[in-house]
A and B are shown apart, each in its own frame.
Chain A
Amino acid sequence: MSDHVRRAASADARGPIARSPIAPAPPVAAVAGWEVSARRSDADLTVTDLTPLAKVQVKAPWDGALAGTLGGPFGRAERSASFEDAEGDDEDVLVVGSGPGEWLALGSPGTAPDLVERLERLAARLPNPEFVTVVDLTHGRALIRIAGERTPDLLAKVCGIDLGETVTPNGAAFRSSVARLAVDVVRYDRDGTRSYLLHCERSSGQYLFDALLDAGGEFGAEIDGFVEPGLS
């Protein structure tokens, strides 16, 4: 265990520390029991490890009642109204229509159990029962965000999909080869800045992170650490 990892681990004595497959760039901090990079970058193009986000998969009939409740049809990502609290505040849950009859809900770090429970409750409340399963994939996926106006240029070096407005507007979600890896890509612009979420199997997280940094080197890409709640 490296020194900076030890420091991060000891910083949170409440329980075991959770680690992303992507080695955190120092300095390291702890967020919701996860070891994260606290590095800050003001570069125009940044790469951030968002693996600590809660990631919950839902499978249900693609044309069923839950599909309508969740929002986020296949190929689109939306903040779902189902996750607003009583006051209508947004609870930072992004629902990605990642496949026909398949959704991925992304939430703040540490909220996976709650998210699973709420999704199961949503399914249970359906007027007509549907075959629905909810699986926590938080530990099974690496999640990376790239942000900046040159992100399409970066992605164009590793991915063959047309990233233009017509084909992949904000909110578009697709699965494709990225640096020869099967990756789910979500266009997730924030505050007018182009941004993408990329998630893959956890075991290839470091590889994908390195490939993105390498591809972005030409455009001055830098690592930007994790800032709560993750999906700003």
Chain B
Amino acid sequence: MSMRLGPQPGEVLDRTRPFTFTWNGREVPAYQGDTIASALAAAGVRVFSRSLKYHRPRGLLTASFHDPGCIVQVDDEPNVRGAHRLARPGMRVRSQNTWPSLNFDVKAINQLAGRFLSAGFYYKTFIRPRWLWPTYERVLRRFANGGEVPPEAAGDYYDKRYAHPEVLVAGGGPAGMAAALAAADAGASVLLVEEEHQLGGHLCWGDEADLAALRGLSERVAAAPGIEVLCDSAVLGRYEGNWIAVVQRTVPGVAERLVKVRAGTLVVASGLIERPYVFAGNDIPGVMLSTAVRRLINLYAVKPGERAVVLTGNGDGDAAVADLKRAGVTVAHIADARLGDDIVRAHGRGRLRSVELPDGRRVDCDLLVTATGWTAPAALLTMAGDRPVYDPRAARYFPDPARLPEDVLAAGGIAGDGSLDELLAHADAVGAEAARRATGAGDGPVPIPTLPVDAHPALFRGRTHGIVDFCEDVSSTDLVQAVEEGYRSVELVKRYTTVTMGPTQGKLEAVNAVAIVAEATGRSIGETGTTTWRPPYVPVTLGALAGRVFEPVRYSPMQPWHEAHGATPLVAGAWIRPDHYGDPHAEARTVRGDVGIIDVTPIGKLDLRGPDVPKLLNLLYVNKWSKLDVGRVRYGVMCADDGVVLDDGVTGHLGPDHYLMSTTSSGAATVWEWVENWLQTQHPDWQVHVTPLTTAYASMNVAGPRSRELLERVTEGVDLAGEAFPYMNVRTGRVCGVDDCVLWRIGFTGELSYELHIPAAYGLHVWETLMERGHDLGIAPFGVEAQRILRLEKGHLIVGQDTDGLTRGFSAGLDWAIKLDKDDFVGKPELAWQQEAGEYPRLVGLQPLDGSVVPEEACQIVDPPRRADRRPRIVGRVTSSRMSPILGRSICLAQVDAHLAAPGTQVTVRLPDGRHIPARVTDHLAHFDPTGDRLRV
């Protein structure tokens, strides 16, 4: 039966845009503007979900964002608030955690076991025997009252942004709008955040006068240039310094956006939330709050029932009566709480059948409307340090302005009562004061009028017990039982019973819970206190919290070439590098036989200028730098204060007071910071300027016996002959028509090689030219893997691989470089001590006796026990290993204890599969060309 009414003055429906969606497989009509719940209610649906523990049928309670009875699954999205989410064509809506159907749910059998599921049952049951817990867990998981995320579900797009308004107004009701307008009029930038799909708060479902006021405010907000409005958005939390989290749901193509706001002043205008009444049967579908029926009738043109009983304690209940009558609902009985009237219990199972009155009469009805008071959602104020104060006159809490920080204000119903004009005048002053506090403009504090407090009967629990927390299925008997068991603090009752811990987070149930605990303990509500409100104000998706993840990547100028030529990418930090082009062994053989070219752009490069650069180099490197002629290059090692190897590289003397330092690829940023740190904190008097140039140059190493022949074809202004440009020298010149190139004759691969640093914009041009001009020389690109093979053949260490966070200089085979006779350098005392102590691990070359076995890197080197029942002692580890295509056998570098470092020593390597293999310490770190003849030609 359709419950859709004719057009209503304030309805938000676009009746020219009808469509359908499905509810548990059944097609349901809707209009644009309908929420899922309003469309279902219009279609006659009364039961939307089952409760958490007892699987009792649940219907609409608030018909708003906070409605606990209408949480549904929409397509692949679980836990959707059906009374808030707008319906859209074709959406598939399902009830959650019901089987086999919503109307007949087998798990409702839990109601029979209700006495075992009372307060704190989590802590009493399923505890023993402990070994059965896995079984309990599997069963309990089936009762979890959430939706499902199918494993194959496509992820949504989540986003984030920052905002820096001078004033943030939380709540877009009349007070929030007035405060925003006043703040904007005072020159402040304003962010106005509203939970609903439109501004206006209770004016939206009000009478003609309310709607007229709403139109006026809305027009002014729309015309105000300084106000940004976020509807369908929620302020999640307020943190130190007005750092405020807002989740926005209205961005096209974006599921949710987390807005990180730094606001000058926060105005909390979150209005009031109507609270339910506690009595037997208060969760039967058909029992609703007065605001729910007013929303259904006025916003969505839905008739909420046919025959109603109304319990009213305030003007909103009276207005609900008028709306019901106007909508054609028979109002069978009105119980006016202001006159002492009450109700006792509601009867019905899947839907309301009747209401029992104190005199024993039962009034048949399908709708029971309660208007029994309000909760002030003071969460944001509490997060700012406020402690709300209970006022028995109004039977609700109010903020304590004395405890609020300067940058937080409250406006609207949360701050007091009064007519609409009084509330608007108050909010206007609050908005102007908020702007003044944020901008510092104005002649002094804006006087803020005091709002009146209207008397309201204290209506929390009636003559019977009922549900307090509709999300968690916590009843008033649960709370009383908790008190009887000794939990007298409301905070402990909360944790013991889980009251206020569901999705509504206390907005509907907190005051009732406190009142019931107060009643049970014999204290006043004020003495009982409140639970603590913490972020988030409303549940938030993990997607919104995670937001969008940015992952910066870095490419060399030659990346397009690598991609076009089938390079397998290697992710090295943020850099994307070619690992190989198909056959790293072939690439290594090309370098040994002809000429290869590798992109080494990620090598760190620091431009050092100034007369004191030699002092800096002497301080930071362990070797000597005072005498390095222009045109010369020297290898250097940096150690930290504790003597641990920090980085290595070469530095070239390009010209007077001008050096170029290279670092490892991964150490570029660290070394830059290291250098700047020493200069700025220890030697600010030194005249040295450091500029990182890592990506200013496209760097490539041309390596192999025919590299000189190739470069002679493309280089101008540099004599490449061995005598004119010997090993460990640097020149600048023109390469492939590009000026200002830096050529270093160094050799990480152990071959005659030149490292070219090309102004980056020409990197691709030079690379392509070299490939073209070297074609007849057999040139081929090689990647990082071939380079690793080649350098291991040559015995060059890699800092971070062949060293670790404990490897001091002498353990890295750097004895030859460490000059303890220098006056001072970073790490010298520790290195001197290491040398003196003597017994330190050594880096050695290692070859398994069986050359076909390549021990994995990090394999342990062990001292086999003499007795079978003893564990082997670890005496070292393999730091690098590869199969050498040139030598046709496996080769390694390893760290071993000092007594095993002598050449020829046989050690035992334990493989990952547990086998032990013998290996021999080699004479040199280099397995190939240990005398360096090939690179000095």
Contact = CB atoms under 8 A, between A and B. Distances in A.
A203 B764 contact: no
Interface in B238-270: 251-254, 260, 262
Interface in A160-188: 160-164, 167, 179-181
A148 B689 CA distance: 37
B764 A204 contact: no
Contacts of B164: 162-164, 167
Contacts of A156: 161-163
Given A15-B737, A156-B162, A160-B260, A21 B553 contact: no
B38 interface: no
A204 B552 contact: yes
Contacts of A218: 251-254
B697 A139 contact: yes
A1 B560 contact: yes
Given A131-B687, A135-B691, A137-B696, A159 B761 contact: no
A34 interface: yes
A158 B575 contact: no
Contacts, number: 121
B160 A17 contact: no
A157 interface: yes
Contact of A135 (B251, B551, B556, B607): B607
Contact of A180 (B550, B687, B693, B764): B550
Contacts of B760: 21, 139-140, 202
A133 B658 CA distance: 10
B768 A1 contact: yes
Given A137-B696, A201-B694, A19 B550 contact: no
A211 interface: yes
A153 B189 CA distance: 14
A16 B694 contact: no
B555 interface: yes
Contacts of B65: none
B773 to A, nearest CB: 13
A180 B555 contact: no
Interface in B738-769: 738, 759-766, 768
Contact of B761 (A34, A160, A161): A34
Interface string B549-592: 01111111100110010000000001100000000000000000
A37 interface: no
B382 interface: no
A80 interface: no
A183 to B, nearest CB: 10
A157 B555 CA distance: 24
Contacts of B262: 162
B651 interface: no
Interface in A131-148: 131, 133, 135, 137-141
A159 B470 CA distance: 41
A161 B759 CA distance: 33
A16 B161 contact: no
A157 B552 contact: no
B736 interface: yes
Interface residues of A, number: 46
B738 A16 contact: yes
A194 interface: no
Given A16-B737, A159-B162, A203 B695 contact: yes
B512 interface: no
Interface string A182-215: 0000000000000000000111101110010000
Contact of A201 (B554, B557, B766): B554
B551 A160 contact: no
A18 B550 contact: no
Contact of B552 (A141, A164, A179): A179
A164 B189 contact: yes
Contacts of A39: none
A156 B159 CA distance: 11
Given A139-B759, A206-B555, A211-B550, A157 B159 contact: yes
A20 interface: yes
B888 to A, nearest CB: 38
A18 B554 contact: no
Given A156-B161, A162-B164, A203-B556, A16 B691 contact: no
Given A133-B689, A156-B161, A162-B262, A207 B552 contact: yes
Contacts of B768: 1
B693 A140 contact: yes
B160 A157 contact: yes
Of listed A17, A19, A139, A164, residue having the most chain B CB within 10 A:
A139
Contacts of B763: 19
**Chain A interface secondary structure, helix, strand, loop or mixed?**
loop
Contact of B764 (A19, A135, A138, A139): A19
Of listed A2, A34, A204, residue having the most chain B CB within 10 A:
A204
A21 B552 CA distance: 14
Nearest to B686: A131
A59 interface: yes
A202 B601 CA distance: 11
Of listed A19, A164, A204, residue having the most chain B CB within 10 A:
A19
A181 B695 CA distance: 15
A181 B765 contact: no
B916 interface: no
A20 B693 CA distance: 16
B610 interface: yes
A56 to B, nearest CB: 11
Given A131-B610, A137-B691, A137-B696, A18 B162 contact: no
A2 to B, nearest CB: 8
B92 interface: no
Given A16-B736, A201-B695, A59 B689 contact: yes
B668 to A, nearest CB: 10
B587 to A, nearest CB: 22
A57 interface: yes
A202 B695 contact: yes
A68 B551 CA distance: 40
A156 B765 CA distance: 37
B555 A21 contact: yes
Contacts of B162: 156-157, 159-161
Of listed A18, A161, A181, residue having the most chain B CB within 10 A:
A18
A16 B557 contact: no
Contacts of B766: 16
Contact of A16 (B553, B697, B762): B762
Contacts of B554: 201, 203-204, 207
Of listed A16, A179, A207, residue having the most chain B CB within 10 A:
A16
A203 B761 contact: no
B159 A140 contact: no
B925 to A, nearest CB: 32
B57 to A, nearest CB: 42
A211 B689 CA distance: 32
B609 A133 contact: yes
A21 B556 CA distance: 8
Of listed A23, A34, A131, A211, residue having the most chain B CB within 10 A:
A131
Nearest to B251: A218
List 9 tightest A-B contacts by C-beta distance, closest first: A140-B696, A18-B761, A203-B554, A162-B164, A180-B550, A139-B760, A202-B695, A203-B695, A139-B759
28 contacts: A1-B560, A1-B561, A16-B737, A16-B762, A16-B765, A21-B555, A21-B760, A59-B689, A133-B610, A133-B691, A135-B691, A137-B693, A138-B759, A139-B696, A139-B697, A139-B761, A140-B692, A156-B163, A157-B162, A158-B550, A164-B189, A181-B550, A201-B695, A202-B695, A203-B554, A203-B556, A206-B555, A218-B253
Given A137-B696, A180-B550, A202-B696, 15 more contacts: A2-B560, A9-B765, A18-B761, A21-B760, A23-B560, A34-B761, A59-B691, A135-B607, A137-B691, A179-B550, A181-B552, A201-B695, A203-B555, A203-B601, A211-B550
